[in-house]
Structure 1
Amino acid sequence: MDVLLFSVVVFIYLLMVGYVGYIAWKRTDSSEDYMVAGRDTHPYIMALSYGATFISTAAIVGFGGVAGQFGMGILWLVFLNILVGVFIAFIVFGKPTRRMGQKMGALTFPEFLARRFDSKFIQYFSGLIIFGAMPLYASVVLIGAARFMQTTLSMNFNIALIILAAIIAAYVIFGGIKGVMYTDALQGTIMFAGMLVLLGFIYWTLGGVTAAHQALTNMAYLMPQSVVAMGATGWTSSPVLGSAWWWTLVSSIILGVGIGALAQPQLAVRFMTVKSSKELNRAVLMGGLFIFVMTFTAYVVGSLSNVYFFQHLGKIAVDVAGGNVDSIIPIFINMAMPEWFAYIFMLTLLAAAMSTISAQFHVQGTAIGRDVYETLKGNKGQRSVFITRVGILVAVVIAVVVAYLLPGSVVAQGTSIFFGLCASAFLPMFVCALFWKRATKSGAIAGLMTGTFVSLFWLVFMHKKEAAGLGICKWLTGSSVLVTTMPWPVVDPIVVALPLAFIVTIIVSLLTKPPAEEVLERCFGETSSK
């Protein structure tokens, strides 16, 4: 390691992050500033903040590593990330969310849902879900960045975790969402440049686009027999339809994350930080381009790393990484790229981790401070901000502890679990809040509870990857899962929980009294409930 070069690169990066965080702190004067950035964020900052929050080390390291295992089929997730995560999210969901959020004076995602349905229960229960479940997502993002620091710098993994968490906690606690979004914009710019260089480099190294992809196609015979038996056919061809490999790729990886993006609390709140729908329109192009470059590069590099490793080591990527897919991208970067780029790319991963985790910590803090504490106690103002800051600190500690406890190859899995849980719990209620005035408080609560508890039940008793690891089903029934008949052990919870939550929300709403006219007036600015 070139200590001088590394020190200069990191010093400049931390200096920029520190300066941006300081500016955000100076511009944060109220609860509205701390939680929704005063509702006047520039569209460029909003777009990069959204994209940098969306795309983390979980996407680059975790899903890039999964691409090394599953191949190019994961590129369908790029399509969903852009179609659902940007265009539908910004145009279809973003505009009414911004308009309604401002009309209701909502400062958090749970508060938005609670005011729409006139229910304090929705606010604090949603806040508890976020505060309780998000540490899993935050911890796997931390793991992704720490693994790269461990590989690149020969640093102790545990020390890397603590350093990352401490830096992020500092500017989130003091700068609020302005600190998060300003640093996101800086970090997003670094991420974008780093990934463009990486994409160009791998194609140049492997002899061009056509040669690289043809070489990967020709390696299909090297697919491990264990995954071939599960339905894998190669890195550039689709798995056997309906096979265990196909269900894992489609339901857990592509659908779970692709659809789950619409109901991510840390993303939805971004829509409430701009002052008009025009800003959202202007942010779409930048947001779409950013997410395309980030995800496409990560998945292509992960897949093509098999070609590079086979040419140089005679092994496929998973074997080079010792079975831990979270190490595929870090090993490839350190082996294939020049030393100076390894340091620059480490900043890309640090930026990806810091941008996402800072948003997660901020959302967890506001969940416990405003959505739980303030809702239950009725306290307002600075006391709520203080509890929020304490909540952020607690969230940091929990995330670090969970990161210590989690096993290898968990980054993509942890992300999929959290995205799927959020989609099942919040998406039916969120969709109805925006587009169906007949939806009732009882229907929203019923859907929220259905999505949450069906997801948890499926994770504990039905989905083999999590159920076998937890061991609760095995302890209670003697079997790893309740149903062993294919395809149920490999069907992701979102496939079952999300439709059920939608159905329950609609049925209960139709069977209960329509919302009061004054509630609709407060939310939509009109009294018609049709």
Structure 2
Amino acid sequence: MNGAAVIQPAPIPFYTVLVLYLGIMAFIGWYAGRKTNNIGDFFVLSGKAGVVVSGIAYFSTQFSMGTFLGTPGTIYGVGYAGMAISVPGAVFCMILPALLIGRKLITLGHKYGFLTMADYLTDRYHSKKMSGVLGVMMLFFLVPMMGAQIIGAGVIVHVFTGLPEWVGVVGMGIIVILYCMSGGMKGAMMTDVIQGSLMIATAVVTFIVSVVMGGGFSNINHTLQSMNEAYLTFPGANGYMPWTYYVSNIVLWSFFTMGQPHLFTKFFAMKDHKTMFKAILLGTAGMFFSATLIEWAGVNGIASIQNIEKADQIIPMILQRGMNPFLASIFIAGIVAAGMSTIDGILVTTTGAVTRDIYQKIINKDATDENVMKLSKVVTVIIGIIVICFGVFQPGSIFEINLFAFSGMAIFVVPILFGIYWKKATAKGAIASVIVGIISLLLFTLNPSVKALAMGFHALFPTTIIASIVMIVVSKFTETPPQETIDRHFTV
């Protein structure tokens, strides 16, 4: 079927449901703002998040427009092999960080009042320069990550109303700015519970609708085989998923989540270790279940919808074509939730990087927590406006932008793990590893000759090896942090 014929906007049901949903999110932000009494509340909920809030908030922040639009859109051109993009990694993306760093971060966070990744790195390496390096990297990579989510809102608004995509970009941006500016992490995590639940429901319903539209599993597979047998096997259409890239994706979406500041910070918000392990079970189940179904729906969509304007539209089109307009709008709100839940977590974390890690620790060391709170609201608005502009100009597909931003922040896995497990790791070693790591990542990503040296693996594989070698070598020849600092981090 021609894609132009598929787009039959139903703006009234869409606006009715979306305005109601966004209104609820805005109210929660306002309510959270009234309950946010200090800087600890604003950034990490004062370390009091329970099992349900912790588990759902982690997975709803990890999952994004990339999961619900960008990844199914990529899979739409690949077939079943494309599901390996994130489904295997989704099983471990909360388990590995919790086992490797989570327990210690909860202890350190509660004992020393850490609120951000920069708090940990600055204290561990006894260097305020770590705050500046992390802050700059977060602005460079996390603004695009937020931009990828907000582009998805534009895609949804276009499919359901026929309006230009920039309308959805601006609308979503304003709502998220308002509730993050008001409630900080409390507002973000409270809305995440609703958004995460809605995301699971959307994944289930979209999958069922896609199966019905395709005439059942047998008919879908028969249709895919008649179109292109590669849709049914590895490495997929156009050879997209060779074994090296398959392995890369498993490691990428599980191990490297430790380097994401908006996920790292979630451990500081958890109440205790018992809460963390229960949250792992809840969050992992939610991630694996929803990722499998929404990505499978992308495969099913190949059999029933062809020749669409852009691949990112496949999931909204399945809902639009297969359901009553009001019901479709309710579940499309689940995709909006996926983007909002990621943006709010990143926006609060990025705001913290600017106001606490750069301003309070480097620019104005005399700034009080009250000053930082006030500045945070202003910075939230400024960053939000930059993200909206990024979304309007759309420099790439949702999946491409998301992957680039995720990879950039993943470099911090090196100073984090060395900081936790190696007493002799130094600040100069950590900073050098990040700088060399970023340069290596860009070379392996953008330069075809250098990229060939990765032998089919994702650029993060060789980049992490190089960054680790730099960390070891530089640390061997530079001064370690004071013994007091080492004791503080290795005797808890």
Match of 1:70, SS state, is coil
Partner of 2:461: 495
The equivalent position to 1:412 in structure 2, one of 386, 399, 411, is 399
Letter of the 1:520 partner, please give it: I
Report matched runs for 1:191-230 at 5 Å.
191-221=199-229
Shift in Å at residue 210 of structure 1?
4.7
Output one character per residue of 1:281-333: Cα deviation in whole Å (capped at 9) or x when no partner.
11112101111122112211111111112xxxxx4xxxx123x2222222333
Match of 1:29, SS state, is coil
Distance change (3 Å), C-alpha of 1:244 and 1:83: closer
Is it true that 1:321 corresponds to 2:317 in the alignment? no
Report matched runs for 1:53-132 at 5 Å.
53-132=61-140
Partner of 1:281: 277
Partner of 2:21: 13
CA–CA distance in structure 1, aligned partners of residues 304 and 44 of structure 2 = 45
Shift in Å at residue 514 of structure 1?
4.1
Is it true that 1:303 corresponds to 2:299 in the alignment? yes
Shift in Å at residue 351 of structure 1?
1.0
Moved more, 483-492 or 103-112: 483-492
Partner of 1:175: 183
Report matched runs for 1:373-384 at 5 Å.
373-376=359-362, 377-378=364-365, 379-384=367-372
Shift in Å at residue 491 of structure 1?
5.8
Report matched runs for 1:16-35 at 5 Å.
16-35=24-43
Shift in Å at residue 342 of structure 1?
2.0
Task: Tell me the number of residue pairs that the alignment of Structure 1 and Structure 2 aligns.
Answer: 482
Shift in Å at residue 213 of structure 1?
3.8
Letter of the 1:417 partner, please give it: F
Match of 2:94, SS state, is helix
Is it true that 1:349 corresponds to 2:345 in the alignment? no
CA–CA distance in structure 2, aligned partners of residues 402 and 15 of structure 1 = 24
Partner of 1:472: none
Distance change (3 Å), C-alpha of 1:485 and 1:62: closer
Please say if residues 96 and 254 of structure 2, whose CA atoms lie closer than 8 Å, have aligned partners that are also in contact.
Answer: no
Partner of 1:246: 242
CA–CA distance in structure 2, aligned partners of residues 458 and 104 of structure 1 = 38
Shift in Å at residue 7 of structure 1?
4.6
Moved more, 415-424 or 327-336: 327-336
Q: Once superposed, what is the RMSD of the aligned Cα atoms?
A: 2.6
The equivalent position to 2:167 in structure 1, one of 159, 168, 171, is 159
Match of 2:234, SS state, is coil
Letter of the 1:305 partner, please give it: G
Is it true that 1:363 corresponds to 2:349 in the alignment? yes
Output one character per residue of 1:371-399: Cα deviation in whole Å (capped at 9) or x when no partner.
11111121231112222222211111111
Moved more, 21-30 or 411-420: 21-30
Higher relative contact order (CA 8 A, sep 6+): 2
CA–CA distance in structure 2, aligned partners of residues 488 and 89 of structure 1 = 25
Letter of the 1:57 partner, please give it: M
Q: How many percent identity over aligned positions? A: 23
Is it true that 1:399 corresponds to 2:387 in the alignment? yes
TM-score normalised by structure 2 residue count: 0.91
Letter of the 2:402 partner, please give it: T
The equivalent position to 1:41 in structure 2, one of 49, 64, 68, is 49
Structure 1 unpaired stretches of 5+: 222-233, 310-314, 463-480
Partner of 1:506: 472
Is it true that 1:516 corresponds to 2:482 in the alignment? yes
The equivalent position to 1:387 in structure 2, one of 375, 381, 394, is 375
CA–CA distance in structure 2, aligned partners of residues 321 and 5 of structure 1 = 23
Please say if residues 256 and 419 of structure 1, whose CA atoms lie closer than 8 Å, have aligned partners that are also in contact.
Answer: no
Please say if residues 70 and 249 of structure 1, whose CA atoms lie closer than 8 Å, have aligned partners that are also in contact.
Answer: no
Letter of the 2:410 partner, please give it: A
Shift in Å at residue 256 of structure 1?
4.2
